[in-house]
Amino acid sequence: MLQLADFEKAYHHTPVLHIPQLEMGPGIYWIKGANGSGKSTLLKAIAGIIDFSGNILLDNTSIKKQPVDYRRRISFAEAEPVFPEFLTGREMIALFMTARQAPTGQETPYLDSMQMQAYLDQPLGAYSSGMLKKLSLLLAFMGNPSLILLDEPLITLDTASLAVLYDWIRERQQTQGASFLLSSHQPLEQNTLHISGTLHVADKTVKWIPG
């Protein structure tokens, strides 16, 4: 279960997001909101990338009191990923697999299903936005996180790749019980994914709508 209590994030002393209390059980959740509403801010705070006031707990593990254990449980793919341009895709995957203590060969079916093998040894500076997006999504699935955060995962992906991503999400939830938070301007294919609920981010707060 993910719990936010007395959550507040401000930039330059201006509050941008305030969530008094929010609890989400296992499942797949869709975060909706206009540009600048705070969707990415919320995901980055949950991922432990930016600081905030209040507390966040995942399965009773506090990001403030047990930050290392908390971050081990979470993966995050940014909307517009940025990686060191001198590394190759293969090297980036190896780094993440080591950090995530991922099992040997875990990356292979993901690489094959997204047809990424052909450019793995190219430097990341030569990757297109679509290639970077696929890599970022793959990295988020490495290891065994209990919560996977995907910020605008549908952008820059073609139709075939979107279908593959939905397969990844469904398979990971069914086989390992992982939960997902997905922010997206585009409608999610709810016939493919069972959405447990929707979070509408607006007016500096979050409105919860059960699925």
Q: What is the 3-state secondary structure (H, E, C) of 178-192?
A: CEEEEECCCCCCCCC
Backbone angles phi, psi at 209, to 5 degrees: -125, 115
Structure confidence at residue 62 as a pLDDT band (50, 70, 90): very high
pLDDT for the residue numbered 184: 83
d(CA 22, CA 17): 13
CB 57 within 8 A of CB 3: yes
pTM of the model: 0.94
Q: State both tokens at 211.
A: 């699925």
Break the chain into its structural domains and give their ranges. Answer: 2-210
For 136, what's the count of Cα atoms within 13 Å in the CB-facing half-sphere? 25
Over residues 88-96, the mean pLDDT reads: 96
Over residues 140-152, the mean pLDDT reads: 96
Considering only residues 6 and 13, tell me which one the structure prediction assigns the higher pLDDT. Answer: 6
The H helix count followed by the E strand count for the chain is 6, 10
d(CA 148, CA 28): 10
Structure confidence at residue 207 as a pLDDT band (50, 70, 90): confident
pLDDT for the residue numbered 191: 66
- E strand or H helix that includes residue 85: none
Q: Is the pLDDT of residue 209 over 90?
A: no
d(CA 115, CA 109): 10
pLDDT for the residue numbered 190: 64
Q: Is the pLDDT of residue 186 over 80?
A: no
Task: Report the SS3 class of residue 128.
Answer: coil
CATH architecture for the domain at 2-210: 3-Layer(aba) Sandwich (3.40)
Task: Report the SS3 class of residue 161.
Answer: helix
Structure confidence at residue 105 as a pLDDT band (50, 70, 90): very high
Q: Is the pLDDT of residue 211 over 80?
A: no
pLDDT for the residue numbered 203: 86
Structure confidence at residue 56 as a pLDDT band (50, 70, 90): very high
Residue percentage of the chain with pLDDT more than 70: 99
